[in-house]
Amino acid sequence: MSRRSSPAPALWLLTACVLGLAACGEQIPGGMPAEAQSQTATDQGAADQVGTGQVGTDQVGAGQTGADQTAADPGAAAPAAGADADDPIVVKIGEEEFLTNMAIYRRYDDAKETPLALGAPVAPAEALEGGKRQDFADGAIFWSPQTGAQIVRGQILATYRDNGGPAGRLGWPVSDEIAEGEVIYSDFQRGQIRLEDQAIRVVEHSG
């Protein structure tokens, strides 16, 4: 009896050809980007090496990745956990390649052409205790299995890093940046960072 092996993908490979990266427009108080740059990208097939030596190709589109063809709503945070959330993926911008994971890539891709657009990646995802972080031209995405992938930017990001980032007193971010009137804030596991009237304030949760 013949035996047929079951293909097992080893690595998602994404080639994203960015045709243009425009600078951010109007700035809101505190230097936070008010309008995100528009990016035109063409997602090409990701080649997966399979156990039999064959190469399988999965088309990857905005908000869709490989076998998971469920499109996320633009601006919505990715689920905290998923079967492929921490699967590796390589994003190619021009001649540069950046290793990240599926959760961070989805959040980055969903934020394109929204006020939370991050621009091009400037470094691969970095492993932290309990999760990962990837830096972009206009901010960063922090991911952990418990809190999902969240966008942090501008003065809030600088203050968060000054307070130790995920390993500090605030823990991991649990929301993207939120704007309510003249107030901009991000929520974290153990507190909040607020930007109001050009002043930054760190609020820790009691208890």
pLDDT for residue 101 is more than 80:
yes
Side-chain-side CA neighbours of residue 157 (13 Å): 21
What is the pLDDT, as a whole number, of residue 114? 96
Over residues 102-153, the pLDDT tens digits come to 999 999 999 999 999 999 999 999 999 999 999 999 999 999 999 999 999 9
What is the pLDDT, as a whole number, of residue 201? 97
Q: Which residues partner with 88 through β-bridges? A: 101
Cβ contact 121:101 at 8 Å: no
Helical H segments across the chain, by residue range: 102-110, 154-162
Q: What is the mean pLDDT of residues 65-91?
A: 59
Q: Where are the domains of the chain?
A: 88-204
Give the separation between CA 194 and CA 191, rounded to whole angstroms. 10
The string of DSSP codes covering 104-164 is HHHHHHHTTTSTT---SB-S--EEETTEEEEEETTEEEEEETTTEEEEE-HHHHHHHHHTT
Q: What is the mean pLDDT of residues 72-98?
A: 74
> 14-18, 71-75, 84-88 — which one is most confidently predicted on average?
84-88
